[in-house]
Amino acid sequence: MTQATWMFVVCVTIPMVVLAMAWVLAARSTEDREKSTPFECGFDPKNTARIPFSTRFFLLAIIFIVFDIEIVLLMPIPTMFMAYYTPHVMIIYILFVIVLIVGLIHEWNEGSLDWSA
């Protein structure tokens, strides 16, 4: 056999072996008890995925992510003040906090932060 023939045999058999192993292992794991239980969100995995999604929950999740990003952006500010205390840094910090406060007031007036509804 030539080198090209060996290469062809290897290139055909390796994917076949991998696919066969995936098929055998997947058939065994579909019967898992954990996969048949509802996820943390409460949706039943056996039913259709096309159920109405709560836009209120989605809005609260987005607001939570935005607040997390704001905290990450505010964390290095004390270190930045110790290293580079200039009027420009102070102005940028004050403008950033003003934008955050205006956004918080807007969300509050809009009612997005009302968790009881």
CA gap 115, 104 in Å, rounded: 15
DSSP string across 17-83: HHHHHHHHHHHHHTT-TGGGS--TT---TTS-S-SPP-HHHHHHHHHHHHHHHHHHHHTTHHHHHHH
Domain ranges of the chain: 1-51, 53-117
Task: Report residue 1's pLDDT band, with 50, 70 and 90 as the boundaries.
Answer: confident
What pLDDT, on a 0 to 100 scale, did the predictor assign at position 95? 92
Helix (H, G, I), strand (E, B) or coil at 114: coil
Buried b (16+ CB within 10 A) or exposed e, 42-69: eeeeeeeeeeeeeeeeeeeeeeeeeeee
Mind listing the pLDDT tens digit for each residue in 13-65?
Answer: 999 999 998 888 776 555 566 666 656 565 665 666 666 777 777 777 888 88
pTM for this predicted structure: 0.48
Helix (H) or strand (E) holding 7, with range, is: helix 3-29
Rounded Cα–Cα distance for residues 101 and 107 (Å): 10
